[in-house]
């Protein structure tokens, strides 16, 4: 419920709200339709993962770390593995480095496609939402064929990777990249020429170059304001040391700029994936690493889809870490959101919040349905049929669209 404060209205958005895909609370003070103050409340998803890591072995922690985020799970596990490998003085095989990059860029593609769909949905452009999510399925199918799952692929392990890429998967990836490239060209065309989209996004949620510096924003939010900040280039790690990566920037410094950056970054990801597959070295996937990690501390960082992801690990010489600290990119971008919202309008709040791409949880496509007859698994085909049948009961026959 909103409350009146002098002549202003304090309007709570969240922790549960249709425009938020995860729990967080924004107390927005309004003067008419204008936002004059925003108080951000986060922490609803705190699960105590860092504390849990202090009671498990490094290899067990890897699976916990991968579940910090459903979307950029590979980025987190890569940073964690890099930190342990540095502490143990291990260099992973070249083939493993390249596979890590391929999966990382596939993850960036699916994350950006997901974001583009959500952003279009927030502004009522649901056709684009459907298009992008349809294309995201192609990327998720590849990730499922590589790692056996659509999210939390389990590709990384300490000392290398657990999954190999054979000729047939590589051919599939290249074929999908060709198809996806055409789609992304279309999205780029829409984003740069479609006047309704441009007018809806331009000037919204501004965070200037100076503000990015002031608030410490990272990732596409920073690059959309012309800040050339990308760990893949500024501190290349793994195979990125050998791969040409171009930083995509924009100067609009608003939601439109963030959209353009993400669309063109997808093209860049496709180029990187092609380079990796065409230059994939032969050799082993892992090297042996000691279970006990020598005492020490390390700060590892990678460029996740949302920006710089930092992992701090302190070891005490045992097989259990003394301290694990994860700084996800969204944590760095929250500070700028308050500034983006203030001075804007209430109707722009959802798209402004969505534009930093806050970390959403993601679930596997298989769902478990509880019924009187017990619990049963449902695959994609069965779930689709369930949806069609459910709507039919409501008097809507979706099968007519086939005809």
Partner 1 sequence: MHEEEIIESLCNKFPFLNCRIYLQKEKRIITKPLLREEFEEVIRFAHDELGFYRASHVVGTDDGENLGLLYILSDHENILLALRESVPKTNPVIKSVSDMYLSIILHERELVDLFGVIVEGLPEGPHYPLPDGWPKGSYPMRKEWDPRYFNKDTMTYEGPQEEKQSE
Query: What are the residues binding partner 1 (CB under 8 A)?
Result: 39, 41-43, 46, 48, 50-51, 86, 213-216, 229, 231, 234-235, 297-299, 308, 310, 312, 314, 322-323, 325, 327, 331-332, 334-335
122 or 308: CB nearest partner 1: 308
Shortest Å distance, C-beta 376 to partner 1? 30
The candidate with the shortest Cα–Cα distance to 21, out of 369, 381, 363, is: 363
Q: What's the min distance (Å) between Cβ of 122 and partner 1?
A: 24
Q: Which is nearer to partner 1, 3 or 194 (CB)?
A: 3
CB 66 to partner 1: min, Å: 20
Nearer to partner 1, 117 or 336 (CB): 336
- Distance in Å, CB of 368 to partner 1, minimum: 24
Least distance from partner 1 to the Cβ atom of residue 358, Å: 13
Question: Are residues 103 and 143 in contact, defined by beta-carbon separation less than 8 angstroms?
Answer: yes
Residues 6+ apart with CB under 8 A from 227: 209, 212, 213, 217, 249
Q: Which residue, 41 or 283, is less far from partner 1 as judged by CB?
A: 41
| Residue closer to partner 1 (CB basis): 203 or 296 | 296
Question: What is the rounded distance in angstroms from the CA atom of residue 33 to the CA atom of residue 151?
Answer: 39
The answer to whether 8 and 38 are in contact (CB under 8 A) is no
CB of 168 to partner 1, least distance (A): 39
Q: How far is the CB of 213 from partner 1 (least distance, A)?
A: 5
If the CB atoms of residues 178 and 228 are measured against partner 1, the closer one turns out to be 228
- At its nearest, how many Å lie between partner 1 and the CB of residue 27? 9
Least Cα distance to 340 among 217, 180, 249, 234 occurs for 217
């Amino acid at each position: 419920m909103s409350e009146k404060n002098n002549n202003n209205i304090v309007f709570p958005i969240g922790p549960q709200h249709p425009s938020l895909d995860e729990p967080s609370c924004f107390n927005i003070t309004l003067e008419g339709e204008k936002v004059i103050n925003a108080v951000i409340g986060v922490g609803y998803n705190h699960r105590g993962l860092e504390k849990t890591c202090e009671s498990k072995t490094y290899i067990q922690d890897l699976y916990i770390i991968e579940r910090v985020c459903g979307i950029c799970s590979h980025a987190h596990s890569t940073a964690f593995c890099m930190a342990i490998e540095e502490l143990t003085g291990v260099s992973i095989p070249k083939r493993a480095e390249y596979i890590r990059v391929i999966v990382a860029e596939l993850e960036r593609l699916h994350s950006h496609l997901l974001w583009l769909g959500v952003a279009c949905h927030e502004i009522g452009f649901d056709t684009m939402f459907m298009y992008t999510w349809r294309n995201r399925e192609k990327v998720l199918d590849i990730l499922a064929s590589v790692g056996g799952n659509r999210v939390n692929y389990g590709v990384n392990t300490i000392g290398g990777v657990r999954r190999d890429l054979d000729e047939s998967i590589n051919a599939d990836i290249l074929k999908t990249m060709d198809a996806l490239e055409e789609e992304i060209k279309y999205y780029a065309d829409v984003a740069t020429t479609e006047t309704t989209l441009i007018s809806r996004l331009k000037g919204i949620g501004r965070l200037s170059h100076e503000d990015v510096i002031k608030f410490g924003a990272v990732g596409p939010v920073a690059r959309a304001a012309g800040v050339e900040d990308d760990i893949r280039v500024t501190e290349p790690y793994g195979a990125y040391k050998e791969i040409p990566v171009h930083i995509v920037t924009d100067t609009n410094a608003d939601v439109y700029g963030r959209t353009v950056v993400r669309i063109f970054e997808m093209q860049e990801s496709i180029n990187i994936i092609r380079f990796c597959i065409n230059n994939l070295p032969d050799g082993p996937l892992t090297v042996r690493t000691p279970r006990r990690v020598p005492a020490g501390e390390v700060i590892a960082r990678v460029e996740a889809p949302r920006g710089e992801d930092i992992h701090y690990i302190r070891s005490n010489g045992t097989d259990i870490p003394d301290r694990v600290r994860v700084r996800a990119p969204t944590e760095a971008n929250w500070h700028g959101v308050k500034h983006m919202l203030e001075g804007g309008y209430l109707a722009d709040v959802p798209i402004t919040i969505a534009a930093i791409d806050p970390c959403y949880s993601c679930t596997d496509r298989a769902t478990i349905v509880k019924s009187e007859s017990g619990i049963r698994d449902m695959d994609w085909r069965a779930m689709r049929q369930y949806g069609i049948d459910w709507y039919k009961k409501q008097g809507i026959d979706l099968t007519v669209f086939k005809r």
